């Protein structure tokens, strides 16, 4: 009796802590399991359609072969060959030219438009904000079709208007010197709203007293804009430049619909190259290598955007 | 100081207005130009969609069709499987949006509210994928879809589009701001984890979900390159793919392409009119997608 009682006491005192400990670890395990189960559907898709393809994209750039067929390992030969492919230089040059054209034009014109819309004489800001958003709604393919008629030679609205001004017939999309610019015009129309809306939000956020103070000190409107407003918008403008650059480097849809890289490769871009070399010309390795080149351009820009600007914007 | 400036404004308000009249006129002229530039192409193409083929090539071009006709709409819906493309786009965008909302909300909730082993590493890996350009993934994603036997199918069109780090990131940010007391109270009352997610978290996340839904739906509705790569049969085309290939497969018929372009934009325009706020919110978040 005495012994069993002692055992019972011992049982009651000691193992309780053990049970508790076990219970703690069990809830910890349970907590982890619950979390993993909630993540499971997402990560199944993530591994299948992001992680595996990403690793395989890098691996493919070291191989040679057909899309559906045997592939052989060639090391860095694709990268070594890229500069010798005559079209590579054209493609890179076109893309850089396009980026260097569209980004500054978009950002400067968007700044101007944002100043215009936030002007103190303007009523109905929301209406104008909606107006600049409308072109964003169009699919690039739809925007391309819309503009292909406007830009059509002779009977196209813009061609007609310009020839009425005495500029002669303009072949926007079939002139190698104008085709990329015409594509830039369409993309400007479709994308400008993004920058304008961002800038409007930022301008409204700037304390009125700062501008007022500058005005009292004798600054004119131009000085207030360049010395007060724009410097305060710097993070947002940088964000805008970075996003515009990332998108511009990936130009494809409009080119595919309107010119398919032509005339004379004047609108062939990096992504155009990747698509065509992989899915049309069966040059899988070269296409994959060009993909890695694009990654090397985009990833650092994105990294800067996320690390530096992401934080600043949140507090802006 | 404020009261002084107010009375000053009131006294000189009228005269001020007269003095600045030329400026006001100038500003509104510029704004009118902006409206024409942004909406003009839509309106012109809207008119073009109602033109007879002979009036398409008229010089000077007709802004408003003199003899409006529905022939272009009849053409795209009877000579081309445009109705089918519209249906395909609706199916693909809807299913992929619903799927994305579900998996991203579950993951976003977990990252926002749960502690688990490997949380930081997983989230960092997720964020890192935001830096990958889509074109890099084109070939290997095609190979994966091919290995799964999903080329030229709805599955191939839809599945790779479900999920995405951006959606998790957006919803995690949103769910983090929700008070934890609610879910804890529900758990204490005996609700299961799934019930808490479904009945507490999801209803409270509606604004975040709406923003993501719009972002994902419009992206999917407008995307061209993936359907171009994964689909061969004409009956599986989506709207952008059909629109893009109208130029090469059918002789360029500006009446038909105009009608098709307008019809493809209409659903988004209607959605925009009702949900403007979320569209504009999504603009900055969506910028993350890269």
Q: What is the pLDDT of residues A148-157, one digit of tens each?
A: 999 988 888 9
CATH number at residue A119: 1.10.3720.10
**Is the pLDDT reported for residue B14 higher than 80?**
no
> Which residues of chain A neighbour B244 with C-beta distances below 8 Å?
141, 144, 253, 256-257
Write the CB contacts of B119 (distance below 8 Å, at least 6 apart in sequence). Answer: A35, B111
DSSP A285-297: HHHHHHHHHHHHH
Backbone angles phi, psi at B114, to 5 degrees: -110, 150
Could you give phi then psi for residue A71, rounded to 5 degrees?
Answer: -130, 145
CA–CA dist A264, A180 (Å, integer): 11
A130: in domain: yes
Identify whether residues A50 and A94 lie together within a single domain: no
Give the mean pLDDT of B100-107. Answer: 97
Instruction: Provide the Cα torsion B221, B224, B226, B229; round to 10°.
Output: 140
Under the banding of pLDDT at 50, 70 and 90, the label for residue A140 is very high
Do A50 and A149 share a domain, yes or no? no
What does the angle CA A216 – CA A222 – CA A228 come to, to the nearest 5 degrees?
65
The pLDDT of residue A153 is 86
Nearest residue, CB atoms, A42 vs list B107, B117, B280: B107
Is position A67 within any domain? no
pLDDT value, residue A206: 87
Q: Is residue A7's pLDDT more than 50?
A: no
- Residue A198: per-residue pLDDT: 92
Mean pLDDT check: name the lowest of B59-63, B143-147, B221-225, B260-264.
B59-63
Asked if the Cβ–Cβ distance from A271 to B126 is below 8 Å, we say no
A24 pLDDT more than 90:
no
Q: Please state, rounded to an integer, the average pLDDT across all residues of chain B.
A: 89
State which residues form the domain around A175: 77-315
A212 to chain B: closest CA residue: B5
Is the same domain home to A87 and A44? no
Cross-chain residue pair A54–B140, CB shorter than 8 Å: yes
CB contact under 8 A, A253 and B240: yes
* pLDDT at A276 > cutoff 80: yes
Dihedral, B22, B23, B26, B30 alpha carbons, nearest 10: -170
C-alpha distance from A166 to closest chain B C-alpha (Å)? 14
Beta bridge mates, A65: A71
Sign of torsion over alpha carbons B187, B192, B198, B202: positive
Question: Which residues of chain B from 236 to 255 reach within 8 Å of chain A, CB to CB?
Answer: 239-241, 243-244, 246-247, 252, 254
Instruction: Say yes or no to pLDDT of A23 above 80.
Output: no
Average pLDDT over residues A64-72: 84
Same domain, A162 and A132: yes
- Provide the chain B residues 65-94 that lie in CB contact (below 8 A) with chain A: none
Please write the tens of the pLDDT for every residue from A172-193: 998 999 999 999 999 999 999 9
Cross-chain Cβ contact B290/A246 below 8 Å: yes
Q: Is the per-residue pLDDT at A313 higher than 70? A: no
Q: What is the pLDDT, as a whole number, of residue A135?
A: 96
Of B279, B255, B259, B243, which is closest to residue B62 (Cα–Cα)?
B255
| Same domain assignment for residues A98 and A19 | no
pLDDT tens for A186-237 read 999 999 999 999 999 889 888 888 888 888 888 888 888 888 899 999 888 9
Q: Which residue did the predictor score with more confidence, B283 or B33?
A: B33
CB contact under 8 A, A146 and B31: no
A61 membership: H or E segment, kind and range: none
3-state secondary structure A129-154: HHHHHHHHHCCHHHHHHHHHHHCCCC
Say what the pLDDT of residue A220 is. 86
pLDDT given at position B138? 95
Q: Are residues A226 and A125 in the same domain?
A: yes
Q: Are B220 and B93 in contact (CB under 8 A)?
A: yes
Q: Which residues of B touch A274 (CB under 8 A)?
A: 135-136, 138-139
pLDDT above 70 for A20: no
Determine whether B42 is exposed, middle or buried from the number of CB atoms within 10 Å of its CB (0-12, 13-18, 19+).
buried
Q: How many structural domains does chain A have?
A: 2
Cβ–Cβ below 8 Å for A252 and B31 = no
Q: Do A141 and B141 touch (CB under 8 A)?
A: no
Domain map (residue ranges) of chain B: 2-70, 75-289
Query: Shortest Cα distance from A7 to chain B (angstroms)?
Result: 36
Mean pLDDT for the stretch of residues A160-165:
87
In a domain, A66, yes or no: no
Tell me the shortest Cα–Cα distance from B24 to chain A, in angstroms. 6
Residues 34-63 on B with a CB inside 8 Å of A are: 34-35, 37-39, 41-42, 44-45, 48, 56-61, 63
B162 → chain A, closest CA residue: A45
pLDDT score of A282: 87
Q: Is B275 exposed, middle or buried (0-12, 13-18, 19+ CB in 10 A)?
A: middle
pLDDT of residue B215: 92
The pLDDT value recorded for residue B23 is 85
Specify whether A237 is located in the same domain as A262. yes
**Across the interface, do B60 and A306 touch by the CB < 8 Å criterion?**
no
Cα gap A88→A273, rounded to integer Å: 8
- Cβ–Cβ below 8 Å for B225 and A252: yes
In sequence order, which residues have a C-beta less than 8 Å from that of residue A285 and are 6 or more positions away?
A60, A61, A62, A63, A64, A65, A71, A74, A77, A78
Let me know whether A118 and A31 are in one domain: no
- For residue A268, the Cα-to-chain-centroid distance in whole angstroms is 19
In a domain, A69, yes or no: no
Report the residue of chain A nearest B130, measured CA to CA.
A302
Say if residue A5's pLDDT is above 50.
no
Could you tell me the pTM of the whole model? 0.89
B9 alpha carbon, distance to own chain's centre? 44
Q: CB count, 10 Å around CB of A316?
A: 16
Which pLDDT belongs to residue A315? 34
Could you say which of A18, A35, A60 is where a domain stops?
A60
Q: What pLDDT was estimated at residue B19? A: 74
Mutate to test the interface with A, among B139, B151, B152, B282 (most CBs of A within 10 A): B139
CA distance A14 to chain B (A): 29
Let me know whether A108 and A35 are in one domain: no
pLDDT in tens, A103-113: 999 999 999 99
B 85-144 residues with CB below 8 A of A?
Answer: 102-104, 106-107, 109-110, 114-117, 119, 122, 125-127, 129-144
Question: Touching check for B275 and chain A: CB below 8 Å?
Answer: no
Q: Are residues A152 and A210 in the same domain?
A: yes
Q: Which residues of A touch B136 (CB under 8 A)?
A: 54, 57, 274, 291-292, 294-295
pLDDT at position A6 = 47
- Quote the distance between the C-alpha of residue A90 and its chain's center: 23
Chain A contacts in chain B segment 171-230 (CB below 8 A): 193, 197, 218, 221-225, 228-229
Range B75-289: architecture per CATH: Orthogonal Bundle (1.10)
Q: Are residues A117 and A222 in the same domain?
A: yes
Q: How far is B55 from chain A (nearest CA, A)?
A: 10
Q: Which residues of A touch B130 (CB under 8 A)?
A: 302, 306
> Are the Cβ atoms of B284 and A298 closer than 8 angstroms?
no
The C-alpha atoms of residue B169 and residue B270 are separated, in whole angstroms, by: 28
DSSP string spanning A70-84?
A: -EEE-TTHHHHHGGG
Closest CA to B239 of B84, B126, B109, B119: B84
Q: Given a cut of 80, is residue A11 above it in pLDDT?
A: no
B268 touches A: beta carbon within 8 Å: yes
Query: Does B277 touch chain A if contact means CB atoms closer than 8 Å?
Result: no
- Does the distance separating the beta carbons of A149 and B134 come in below 8 Å? no
**A65 found inside a domain:** no
Statement to judge: residues A245 and A173 lie in one domain: yes
- Strongest mean pLDDT among A58-67, A243-252, B12-21: A243-252
């Amino acid at each position: 009796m005495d012994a069993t009682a002692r055992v019972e006491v011992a049982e009651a005192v000691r193992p309780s802590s053990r049970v508790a400990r076990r219970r703690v670890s069990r809830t910890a395990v349970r907590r982890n399991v619950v979390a993993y189960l909630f993540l499971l559907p997402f990560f199944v898709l993530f591994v299948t359609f992001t992680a595996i393809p990403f690793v395989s994209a890098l691996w493919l750039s070291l191989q040679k072969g057909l899309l559906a067929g045997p592939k052989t390992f060639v090391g860095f030969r694709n990268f070594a060959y890229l500069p010798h492919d005559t079209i590579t230089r054209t493609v890179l040059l076109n893309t850089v030219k396009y980026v260097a054209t569209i980004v500054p034009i978009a950002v400067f014109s968007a700044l101007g438009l944002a100043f215009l819309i936030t002007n103190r004489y303007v009523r109905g800001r929301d209406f104008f904000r909606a107006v600049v958003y409308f072109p964003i709604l169009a699919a690039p393919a739809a925007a391309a079709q819309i503009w292909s008629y406007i830009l059509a030679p002779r009977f196209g609205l813009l061609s007609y208007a310009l020839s009425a001004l005495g500029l002669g017939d303009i072949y926007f999309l079939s002139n190698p010197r104008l085709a990329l610019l015409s594509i830039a015009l369409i993309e400007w129309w479709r994308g400008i709203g993004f920058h304008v809306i961002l800038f409007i939000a930022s301008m409204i956020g700037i304390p009125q007293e700062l501008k007022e103070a500058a005005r009292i000190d004798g600054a004119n409107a131009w000085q207030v804009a360049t010395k007060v407003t724009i410097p305060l918008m710097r993070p947002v403008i940088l964000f805008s430049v970075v996003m515009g650059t990332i998108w511009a480097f990936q130009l494809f849809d409009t080119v595919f619909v309107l010119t398919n890289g032509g005339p004379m490769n004047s609108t062939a871009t990096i992504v155009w190259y990747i698509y065509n070399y992989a899915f049309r010309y069966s040059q899988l390795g070269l296409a994959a290598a060009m993909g890695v080149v694009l990654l090397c351009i985009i990833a650092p820009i994105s990294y800067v955007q996320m690390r530096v600007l992401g934080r600043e914007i949140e507090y802006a | 100081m404020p009261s002084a400036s107010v009375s000053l404004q009131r006294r000189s308000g009228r005269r001020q207005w007269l003095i600045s009249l030329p400026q006001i006129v100038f500003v509104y002229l510029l704004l009118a130009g902006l409206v024409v530039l942004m909406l003009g192409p839509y309106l012109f193409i809207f008119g073009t969609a109602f033109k007879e083929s002979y009036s398409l090539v008229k010089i000077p071009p007709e802004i408003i069709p003199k003899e409006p006709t529905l022939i272009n709409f009849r053409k795209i819906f009877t000579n081309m499987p445009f109705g089918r493309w519209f249906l395909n786009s609706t199916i693909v965008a809807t299913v992929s949006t619903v799927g994305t909302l579900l998996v991203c909300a579950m993951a976003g909730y977990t990252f926002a509210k749960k502690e688990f082993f490997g949380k930081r590493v997983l989230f960092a890996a997720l964020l890192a994928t935001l830096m990958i350009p889509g074109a890099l993934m084109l070939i290997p994603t095609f190979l994966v879809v091919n290995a799964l036997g999903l080329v030229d199918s709805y599955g191939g069109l839809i599945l790779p589009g479900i999920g995405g780090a951006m959606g998790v990131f957006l919803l995690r940010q949103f769910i983090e701001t929700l008070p934890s007391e609610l879910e804890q109270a529900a758990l204490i009352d005996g609700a299961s984890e799934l019930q808490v997610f479904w009945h507490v978290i999801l209803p409270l996340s509606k604004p975040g979900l709406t923003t993501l839904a719009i972002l994902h739906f419009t992206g999917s509705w407008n995307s061209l390159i993936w359907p171009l790569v994964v689909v061969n049969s004409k009956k599986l085309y989506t709207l952008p793919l059909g629109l893009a290939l109208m130029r090469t497969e059918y002789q360029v018929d500006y009446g038909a392409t105009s009608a098709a372009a307008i019809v493809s934009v209409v659903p988004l325009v209607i959605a925009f009119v009702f949900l403007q706020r979320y569209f504009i919110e999504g603009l900055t978040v969506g910028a993350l997608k890269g």
